[in-house]
Amino acid sequence: MAIDDLTLVKRSRDGDQTAFKLLVERYQRKVYSVALGMVRDREEARDIAQEAFTKVYKYLDHFQGDSSFYTWLYRITVNICIDFLRKHGSGRGEHVELDENVAMDSAEANIGALGSKLGTNPQKSLLRKELAAKIQEALEEVPEKHRAILLLREIEGMSYDDLARTLDIPKGTVMSRLFHARAKIQKVLSNYLELDESKSGIGSE
Residues near another protein (CB under 8 A): 17, 20-21, 24-25, 28-29, 32-33, 36-37, 42, 46, 49-51, 53-54, 57-58, 61, 103-104, 106-107, 109-120, 128-129, 131-133, 135-136, 139, 150-151, 153-155, 159-160, 175-176, 178-179, 182, 185-187, 189-191, 193-194
CB of 116 to another protein, least distance (A): 7
CB of 95 to another protein, least distance (A): 22
**For another protein, which is the closer residue by CB, 7 or 54?**
54
Dist. CA 26–CA 69, nearest whole Å: 12
Smaller CB distance to another protein: residue 76 or 151?
151
Contact call for residues 49 and 77 (beta carbons, < 8 A)? yes
- 117 burial via Cβ count (<10 Å: 0-12, 13-18, 19+): buried
Instruction: Report the Cα 91 to chain-centroid distance in Å.
Output: 17
Q: How far apart are CA 23 and CA 139, in angstroms?
A: 28
Does an H or E element contain 68, and which? none
For residue 100, what is the DSSP state?
T
Give the shortest CB-122-to-another protein separation in angstroms: 12
Specify burial of residue 189 (Cβ count, 10 A radius: 0-12, 13-18, 19+). buried
Q: Pick between residue 37 and residue 93 the one whose CB is nearest to another protein.
A: 37
d(Cα 37, Cα 27) in Å, to the nearest integer? Answer: 15
Minimum CB distance to another protein, residue 30 (Å): 9
Nearer to another protein, 1 or 107 (CB): 107
Q: Considering the complex, what minimum distance in angstroms separates the CB of residue 178 from another protein?
A: 5
Which is closer to another protein, CB of 66 or CB of 105? 105
